């Protein structure tokens, strides 16, 4: 039902144009132009500047601030960065001007905001993406819808395939349950913004058809996939992946296929490729495996082109750790068969042994465990604990960029855990061995090792948490150590780990944190939640608190844009006019 309200006499509206009127709780700009009246939301959809201060010419309203232009009758913008402005129906009756402040819209809010999200992704406009995510959330739309839109866009519009953007989106999706409700949409906006950034200016992903052969066994498909990746034939590998999906391989079979190809060479692209595989599988768990045909082929270009760690001197000299892994891998099927079904209990010093200075002994520790029945899940978890220690004991006298080195090992180890939970094929143990060798190679970054904090647990948890949060506000090396100590104090004093995670998530999302801190926090939460032993799990939260402290504060530009988007969607005035 139209609900027109009188706003002015015709004479007054002509005389005062442009005029600001309040109607239905809204601030509306009333324009008289070329003999007609137009009513629009007076807040510029870009940054909220009063459009009544703008100028009108030939049916086009120009905002005076950043000069965005809007078609006056429908509100469509000529400048996509600004977004369209809302318009309202106007009627003239008996010498009076009436405006309907709440007209029935042609599209429901969910449909409207989905379209806006797709537009924001195409144009890489963070404000439009943020507003769309908030609008979808306010409309009660399941976050999986935004994730699906992001996954579809990210896999279609990047010729290089799966990258840091989609990885960030998947990591943010994993974080959602640990976050405050108010931060969940921030996380979605961060993930979707990262996808848009990653695709901006990139050529699209041209799809290969699946191989048409039918009745091919899963084993043969795996072999074809490995052979095509081996010779860096991305097109052929993509056709095999599509054929495997069409043949009905389930997620465990597909995980086995990707793990095999991703571990035929060592630690691809500093571990990123296996992490991306894991993140793609995790995203499919959330958006539905019916999207496998879009998501999994996007992993192929990166796998085919990846740098193989055996090509790096650090994996060859002074100890040829690549050869160590390859020699152990040759024995894996026999070792695996010997230990299969045996219960293995992790020795008390196992993680310390993985942190040792002798790579031969580290490989021995792992292969002995395999013979004794250790599963890849158990071994991957132990390597991830060792990798967390490298972060938790990272010395700030190192070069700042060396944080990346321990971080890469850590996220790789976390990915190994995720994939080991899907498949226990022998190749999974190669991934564990690669992770262990990377932990070994990172040992100089713990020289001397910063002691792990071991507090008494007699602090007020609230005070420890306040102290921790302060460390994220100061840019100084010494805050890194303090952050780890206060996180440990909080937990040792009985502080609620879920509250700590919510706070760390809040800090992460308000900062322009970038790819690595976002990965790091997500990996730490995942490993903490998966830990059998709470005390051992704590190391992960201590490690990520230190990592965050090293990477904060930032300018918080993204947070500022998000807050403007929230205020615009709520209908708040941002600039009076």
Residue ranges binding ligand FES (CB under 6 A): 44, 46-47, 49, 63, 65-66, 68, 82
Map tokens 């402290």 to a residue: 549
> Which residues are CB-contacts of 345 (< 8 A; sequence separation ≥ 6)?
none
CB of 124 to ligand FES, least distance (A): 17
Q: C-alpha distances in angstroms, 474 versus 375, 479, 482?
A: 43, 7, 11
CB of 7 to ligand FES, least distance (A): 23
Residues 556, 560, 565, 568: what is their CA dihedral angle, to the nearest 10 degrees? 170
- What is the rounded distance in angstroms from the CA atom of residue 164 to the CA atom of residue 520? 13
List the beta bridge partners of residue 60: 57, 71
Q: Which is nearer to ligand FES, 85 or 283 (CB)?
A: 85
User: Residue 319 class from Cβ within 10 Å (0-12 exposed, 13-18 middle, 19+ buried)?
Assistant: middle
Q: Which is nearer to ligand FES, 66 or 360 (CB)?
A: 66
Question: What is the DSSP pairing of strand 69-71 with strand 87-88?
Answer: unpaired
Q: Which is nearer to ligand FES, 69 or 316 (CB)?
A: 69
Task: Determine contact, residues 416/529, Cβ cutoff 8 Å.
Answer: no
Q: Which is nearer to ligand FES, 413 or 565 (CB)?
A: 565
User: Residue 39 class from Cβ within 10 Å (0-12 exposed, 13-18 middle, 19+ buried)?
Assistant: buried
CB of 112 to ligand FES, least distance (A): 21
> Which residues are CB-contacts of 413 (< 8 A; sequence separation ≥ 6)?
380, 383, 384, 386, 387, 435, 438, 439
Q: Which is nearer to ligand FES, 63 or 287 (CB)?
A: 63
Q: Which is nearer to ligand FES, 62 or 152 (CB)?
A: 62
CB of 195 to ligand FES, least distance (A): 24
Q: Tell me the backbone φ, ψ of residue 22, rounded to 5 degrees.
A: -100, 125
Q: Which is nearer to ligand FES, 47 or 305 (CB)?
A: 47
CB of 82 to ligand FES, least distance (A): 5
Q: Which is nearer to ligand FES, 20 or 469 (CB)?
A: 20
CB of 62 to ligand FES, least distance (A): 9
Q: Which is nearer to ligand FES, 85 or 189 (CB)?
A: 85
CB of 37 to ligand FES, least distance (A): 22
Q: Report DSSP letters for 112-164, one per residue.
A: HHHHHHHHHHHHT-HHHHHHHHHHHHHTT--HHHHHHHHHHHHHHS-TT-S-H
CB of 63 to ligand FES, least distance (A): 3
Task: Determine contact, residues 113/135, Cβ cutoff 8 Å.
Answer: yes
Q: Which is nearer to ligand FES, 22 or 67 (CB)?
A: 67
CA proximity to 93, closest of 178, 179, 5, 14: 5
Q: C-alpha distances in angstroms, 570 versus 180, 535, 574?
A: 19, 44, 11
User: Residue 401 class from Cβ within 10 Å (0-12 exposed, 13-18 middle, 19+ buried)?
Assistant: exposed
- What is the rounded distance in angstroms from the CA atom of residue 110 to the CA atom of residue 132? 9
And the tokens for 451? 């002691």
Q: Which is nearer to ligand FES, 46 or 527 (CB)?
A: 46
- What is the rounded distance in angstroms from the CA atom of residue 481 to the CA atom of residue 487? 10
CB of 562 to ligand FES, least distance (A): 16
Q: Treating both helix axes as pointing N-terminal to C-terminal, what angle do 557-570 and 126-138 enclose, rounded to 10 degrees?
A: 50
Q: Which is nearer to ligand FES, 7 or 44 (CB)?
A: 44
Q: What angle is formed at CA 136 by the lines to CA 135 and CA 142, rounded to 5 degrees?
A: 155
């Amino acid at each position: 039902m139209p609900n027109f309200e009188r706003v002015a006499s015709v004479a007054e509206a002509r005389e005062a144009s442009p005029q600001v009127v309040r109607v239905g709780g809204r601030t509306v700009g009333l324009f008289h132009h070329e003999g007609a009246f137009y009513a629009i939301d007076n807040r510029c959809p870009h940054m909220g500047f009063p459009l009544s201060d703008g100028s009108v010419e030939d049916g086009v309203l120009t905002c005076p601030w950043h000069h965005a232009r809007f078609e006056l009758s429908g509100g469509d913008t000529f400048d996509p960065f600004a977004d369209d402005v809302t318009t309202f129906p106007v009627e003239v009756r008996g010498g009076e001007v009436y405006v309907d402040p709440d007209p029935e819209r042609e599209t429901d809010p969910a449909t409207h905001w989905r379209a806006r999200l797709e537009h924001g992704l195409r144009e890489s406009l963070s404000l439009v993406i943020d507003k769309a995510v908030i609008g979808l959330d306010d409309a009660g739309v399941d976050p999986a819808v935004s994730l699906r839109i992001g996954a579809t866009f990210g896999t279609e519009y990047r010729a290089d395939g799966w990258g840091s953007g989609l990885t960030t989106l998947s990591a943010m999706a994993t974080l959602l349950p640990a976050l405050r409700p108010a931060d969940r949409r921030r996380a979605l906006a961060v993930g979707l913004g990262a996808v848009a950034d990653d695709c901006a200016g990139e050529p699209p992903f041209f799809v290969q058809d699946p191989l048409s052969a039918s009745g091919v066994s899963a084993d043969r498909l795996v072999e074809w996939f490995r052979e095509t990746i081996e010779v860096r034939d991305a097109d052929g590998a993509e056709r095999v992946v599509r054929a495997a999906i069409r043949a009905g391989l389930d997620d465990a079979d597909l995980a086995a296929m990707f793990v095999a190809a991703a571990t035929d060479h060592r630690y691809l692209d500093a571990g990123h490729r296996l992490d991306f595989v894991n993140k793609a599988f995790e995203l499919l768990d959330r958006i539905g495996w019916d999207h496998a045909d879009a998501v999994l082929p996007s992993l192929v270009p990166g796998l085919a082109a990846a740098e193989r760690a055996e090509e790096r001197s650090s994996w060859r000299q002074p100890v040829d750790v690549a050869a160590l892994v390859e020699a152990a891998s040759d024995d894996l099927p026999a070792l695996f068969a010997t230990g299969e079904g045996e219960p293995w209990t992790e020795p008390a010093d196992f993680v310390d042994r993985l942190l040792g200075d002798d790579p031969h002994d580290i490989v021995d520790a792992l292969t002995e465990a395999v013979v004794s029945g250790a599963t890849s899940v158990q071994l991957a978890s132990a390597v991830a604990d060792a990798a967390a220690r490298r972060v938790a004991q990272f010395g700030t006298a190192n070069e700042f960029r060396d944080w990346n080195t321990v971080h890469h090992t850590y996220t790789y180890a976390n990915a190994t855990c995720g994939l080991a939970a899907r498949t226990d094929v022998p190749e999974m143990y190669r991934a564990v061995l690669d992770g262990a060798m990377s932990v070994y190679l990172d040992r100089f970054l713990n020289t001397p090792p910063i002691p792990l904090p071991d507090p008494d647990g007699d602090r007020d948890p609230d005070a420890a948490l306040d102290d921790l949060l302060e460390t994220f506000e100061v840019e100084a090396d010494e805050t890194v150590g303090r952050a780890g100590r206060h996180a440990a104090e909080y937990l040792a004093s009985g502080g609620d780990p879920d509250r700590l995670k919510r706070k760390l998530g809040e800090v992460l999302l308000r900062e322009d944190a970038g790819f690595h801190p976002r990965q790091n926090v997500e990996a730490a939460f995942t490993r903490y939640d998966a830990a059998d032993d709470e005390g051992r799990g704590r190391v992960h939260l201590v490690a990520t608190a230190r990592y965050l402290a090293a990477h904060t504060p930032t300018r918080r530009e993204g947070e500022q844009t998000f807050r403007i988007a929230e205020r615009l969607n709520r209908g708040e005035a941002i600039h009076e006019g």
